[in-house]
C-alpha cells in the first residue's frame, strides 16, 4: 500500500510565468513577452500588441477565435505592462528559491528552459553561453539539495524572431531550429537532467502567442501543418535524447481534460468521443504509438487538409515514442451535443457545468475522483508510466497582520487529489512516477496574466500591476507539503 519509495514528490513552474529577466544575460524576446496582463475575476482579457502588415498597430484580444492576420507581427509597446518581463523573478532569486524548495523537501522541481535564453532569436549558429550558464547554476543548486530537475524544453514559448521571420511553427525550418536547441541543452545538461518533457500541454499549442503562427483560425491547413511540425520535432527530440544519453527519460506532456458525456443519450456520448479525440487522444496516440490515428486522417480528408511530409518523417514519428506520459490535471468537463445550462470554467475549456462538483473561485470544477479516473484511463490504454506534472488550486491568498498565510483551501484541494492518486496506485495498480504540484511558488497566471490567482506554496509579494517587493513568504501549505513528502504521502493531516 502507499506510494513507491522513490516517488517524485515535487512542484512545477514555467519560465514565462516565473523567470523574468526578459532581456538579461543576452536573452531575446519571446512571443510571450508581448502579452499583457489581465484580470480573470473582472473579465479583463489579455492582449498582444500587434504591428499589422500595413504598418498600423493595435492591441489584439487573446481568446477563442483570435488570430493575427498574415504579415502581422507582435512587438513590445513600452506603454504597456507585460507580466513575463519580471514575473516573480526567479532569474534573480534562484538561489533563495531553491533553498526554500530544499527546505520543503521537494524530490523534484519542474521548470522550463527559456528557448530565447539559449538562442535569443531562435536561428543563430551558436548558443548564448550566458544563458546556458544560468541553467547550469540552477541544476547544480537543485542537486545540492537532492532535488531532481524535471525540465520542459518548451512551455508556451516561441522566439519572437521565429514568429516574425518564419511564421513560427508553420515553417519546417523551425523543426530544425528546435532540434538544434534540444541538442544543445541535452548535451550541455547531460548527467544533470534526466527527466525531460518536450512540449508543455502540446494539445493546446494552437495560438499565435504559443507557437508564433498567423491565421490560426482561418487557415486550417496551415495550423494542421504547424501541429505536425511540433509533433515531428518532439519525436525527433526523443530519439536524439536517447542517443545522447540512454538514461534520459523522455516524456510528452498534455492537458488531461477528463470529459463526461452530459447524459446517456448516444448523441452526447458521441460528442464526448469527438471532443476527447480532438482535444487530447490524438496527441497521445501520436506520441505513444508513433503514427496519426485513422480518425484524424479521415478528418483531414473531409476538410481537404494534406500534410506536407519529407522522406523519413513517418519513421521518425515511429522512432520517437515517449518513455512516459506527463500530464496536467485541474478539472474535468461535461460535453453535450446541444447547448444546455451554465458554462463551466477550466484550463482552456470548460464545457457544461457539472452539478456534482464544487468549483474554484475561477469556476473550475474540482474533481479529485476524476484524477483517479484519468490515471486509470491512461494506464489502461497505453501501459506507459505516468507522471502528474501539474495539479493545484488557483486562489486569492490573504496575508495576515503577522505575515502568515492560511491557505487551508489549497491544502484541502491537494489532500483530496493525493488520496485519489494513492488509490490509483495501491488499488488499481497504475504505475505513477511522481506528482508535481502547480506551482512551487507564486507565479503569473498563464490564462489571465494575473498575480492574484495564486497557486504556490510560497507567497511572492507582487500585485496584478507589477508592484511589490518580490519578498518570499512560506504559506501554511508549505509546511503541510513538507510533512506529506517526509512521510511519503502517509501524513496528509
Ligand atoms: C496549465 C499551464 O494549463 O495551467 C500552466 O500549463 C498554467 O502554464 C496552468 O499556469 C494554470 O492555468 P492558469 O491560467 O490558472 O495559470
pLDDT per residue as tens digits for the range 21-39? 999 999 999 999 999 998 7
Q: What mean pLDDT comes out for the span 101-130?
A: 98
**Residue 463 C-alpha to ligand 1 middle, in angstroms?**
18
Ligand 1 contact via 110 beta carbon (within 6 Å):
no
> How far is it, in rounded angstroms, from Cα 203 to Cα 95?
33
| CA pseudo-torsion sign 257, 36, 360, 328 | positive
DSSP 415-457: HHHHHHHHHHHHTT---EEEEEEE-SS----TTT--SSSB--S
Ligand 1 atom 7: the closest Cα is on which residue?
Answer: 446
Smallest CA separation from ligand 1 atom 14, residue = 447
Q: What is the mean pLDDT of residues 433-446?
A: 97
Q: Is 390 a catalytic residue?
A: yes
* Residue 456 near ligand 1, beta carbon < 6 Å: no
Distance CA 231, CA 99 (A): 36
Residue 354 in contact with ligand 1 by CB distance below 6 A: no
Per-residue pLDDT at 321: 97
Q: How does pLDDT run across 269-305, given as a tens digit for each residue?
A: 999 999 999 999 999 999 999 999 999 999 999 999 9
Distance 310 CA to ligand 1 centre (A): 34
> Residue of the nearest CA to atom 16 in ligand 1?
445
Q: Does pLDDT of 457 surpass 90? A: yes
Which runs of consecutive H residues, i.e. helices, occur in 328-394? 368-382
Mean pLDDT of 241-252: 97
Question: How does residue 344 score in pLDDT terms, banded at 50, 70 and 90?
Answer: low
Burial tier of 419 (Cβ tally within 10 Å: 0-12, 13-18, 19+): middle
Q: Is 445 in the pocket of ligand 1 (CB under 6 A)?
A: yes
Is there a contact between 477 and 466 (Cβ–Cβ < 8 Å)? no
Determine which residue's CA is closest to atom 5 belonging to ligand 1: 446
Does residue 28 line the site of ligand 1, with CB under 6 A? Answer: no
Q: Mean pLDDT of all residues in the chain?
A: 94
pLDDT tens digits along 136-182: 999 999 999 999 999 999 999 999 999 999 999 999 999 999 999 99
Of 152, 280, 390, the one to substitute when testing ligand 1's pocket (max ligand atoms within 8 A of C-beta) is 390
C-alpha cell at 329: 490535471
Q: Which residues pair with 9 in a beta bridge?
A: 435
Residues of the chain above pLDDT 70, percent = 98
Ligand 1 contact via 255 beta carbon (within 6 Å) = yes
What residue owns the CA closest to ligand 1's atom 15?
445
316 CA to centre of ligand 1 in angstroms:
30
pLDDT band at 347 (very low <50, low <70, confident <90, very high): low
Average pLDDT of the residues in 61-85: 91
Give the per-residue pLDDT at 361: 81
3 state DSSP class of 51: strand
Distance CA 279, CA 397 (A): 32
Region 214-223: mean pLDDT is: 94
pLDDT computed for residue 196 by the predictor: 98
Which of the four pLDDT bands, split at 50, 70 and 90, describes residue 223? Answer: very high
Residue nearest to atom 8 of ligand 1 (CA): 446
Give the position, in ligand 1's atom list, of the atom nearest the Cα of 448: 14
**Is residue 406 a contact partner of residue 357, using CB atoms and an 8 Å limit?**
no
Q: How many whole angstroms separate alpha carbon 439 and alpha carbon 458?
A: 9
User: Ligand 1 in contact with 258 (CB < 6 A)?
Assistant: no
Q: Which of 19, 67, 141, 201 is catalytic?
A: 201
The grid coordinates listed for 253 are 506532456
* Ligand 1 probe mutation, 438, 448, 450, 453, most atoms within 8 A of CB: 438
* Eight-class DSSP state of 410: H
Q: With CA atoms as reference, report the closest residue to 73 among 169, 208, 170.
A: 208
For the question of residue 78 being annotated catalytic, the response is no
CA 282, CA 39: separation in Å to the nearest integer? 32
Task: Give the pLDDT band of residue 129 (cuts 50, 70, 90).
Answer: very high
Verify whether ligand 1 is closer than 6 Å to residue 12 (CB atom). Answer: no
Q: Apex CA 115: angle with CA 13 and CA 156, to 5°? A: 50
User: For ligand 1, is residue 238 a contact (CB within 6 Å)?
Assistant: no
Amino acid at each position: 500500500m502507499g506510494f513507491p519509495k522513490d516517488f517524485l514528490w515535487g512542484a512545477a513552474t514555467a519560465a514565462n510565468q516565473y523567470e523574468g529577466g526578459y532581456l538579461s544575460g543576452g536573452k531575446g524576446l519571446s512571443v510571450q513577452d508581448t502579452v499583457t496582463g489581465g484580470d480573470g475575476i473582472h473579465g479583463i482579457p489579455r492582449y498582444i500588441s500587434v504591428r499589422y502588415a500595413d504598418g498600423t498597430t493595435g492591441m489584439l484580444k487573446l481568446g477563442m477565435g483570435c488570430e493575427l492576420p498574415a504579415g502581422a507581427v507582435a512587438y513590445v509597446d513600452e506603454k504597456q505592462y507585460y507580466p513575463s518581463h519580471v514575473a516573480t523573478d526567479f532569474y534573480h532569486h534562484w538561489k533563495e528559491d531553491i533553498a526554500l524548495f530544499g527546505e520543503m523537501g521537494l524530490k523534484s522541481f519542474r521548470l522550463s528552459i527559456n528557448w530565447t535564453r539559449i538562442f535569443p532569436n531562435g536561428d543563430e549558429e551558436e548558443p548564448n553561453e550566458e544563458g546556458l550558464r544560468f541553467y547550469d547554476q540552477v541544476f547544480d543548486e537543485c542537486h545540492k539539495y537532492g532535488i531532481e530537475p524535471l525540465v520542459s524544453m518548451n512551455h508556451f514559448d516561441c522566439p519572437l524572431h521565429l514568429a516574425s521571420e518564419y511564421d513560427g511553427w508553420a515553417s519546417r525550418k523551425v523543426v530544425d531550429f528546435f532540434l538544434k536547441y534540444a541538442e544543445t541543452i541535452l548535451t550541455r545538461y547531460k548527467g544533470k537532467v534526466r527527466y525531460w518533457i518536450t512540449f508543455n500541454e502540446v494539445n493546446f499549442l494552437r495560438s499565435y502567442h504559443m507557437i508564433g503562427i498567423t491565421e490560426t483560425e482561418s487557415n486550417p491547413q496551415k495550423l494542421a501543418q504547424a501541429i505536425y511540425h511540433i509533433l515531428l520535432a518532439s519525436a525527433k527530440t526523443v530519439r536524439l535524447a536517447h542517443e545522447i544519453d540512454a538514461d534520459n527519460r523522455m516524456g510528452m506532456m498534455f492537458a488531461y481534460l477528463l470529459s463526461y458525456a452530459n447524459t446517456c443519450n448516444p448523441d452526447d456520448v458521441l460528442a464526448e468521443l469527438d471532443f476527447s479525440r480532438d482535444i487530447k487522444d490524438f496527441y497521445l496516440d501520436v506520441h505513444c504509438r508513433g503514427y496519426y490515428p485513422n480518425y484524424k486522417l479521415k478528418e483531414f480528408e473531409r476538410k481537404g487538409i494534406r500534410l506536407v511530409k519529407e522522406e523519413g518523417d513517418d519513421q521518425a514519428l515511429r522512432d520517437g515514442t515517449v518513455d512516459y506520459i506527463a500530464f496536467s490535471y485541474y478539472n474535468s468537463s461535461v460535453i453535450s451535443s446541444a447547448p444546455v445550462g451554465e458554462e463551466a470554467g477550466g484550463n482552456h475549456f470548460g464545457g457544461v457545468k457539472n452539478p456534482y462538483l464544487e468549483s474554484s473561485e475561477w469556476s473550475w470544477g474540482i474533481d479529485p475522483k476524476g484524477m483517479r479516473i484519468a490515471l486509470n484511463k491512461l494506464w489502461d490504454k497505453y501501459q506507459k508510466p505516468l507522471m502528474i506534472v501539474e495539479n493545484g488550486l488557483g486562489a486569492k491568498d490573504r496575508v495576515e497582520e503577522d505575515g502568515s498565510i492560511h491557505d487551508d483551501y489549497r491544502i484541502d484541494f491537494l489532500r483530496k487529489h493525493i488520496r485519489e492518486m494513492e488509490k490509483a496506485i495501491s488499488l488499481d495498480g497504475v504505475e505513477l512516477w511522481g506528482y508535481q504540484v502547480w506551482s512551487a511558488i507564486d507565479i503569473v497566471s498563464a490564462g489571465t496574466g494575473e498575480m492574484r490567482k495564486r497557486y504556490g506554496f510560497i507567497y511572492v509579494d507582487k500585485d496584478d500591476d507589477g508592484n511589490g517587493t518580490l519578498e518570499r513568504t512560506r504559506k501554511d501549505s508549505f509546511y503541510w507539503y513538507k510533512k506529506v513528502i517526509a512521510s511519503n504521502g502517509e501524513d496528509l493531516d
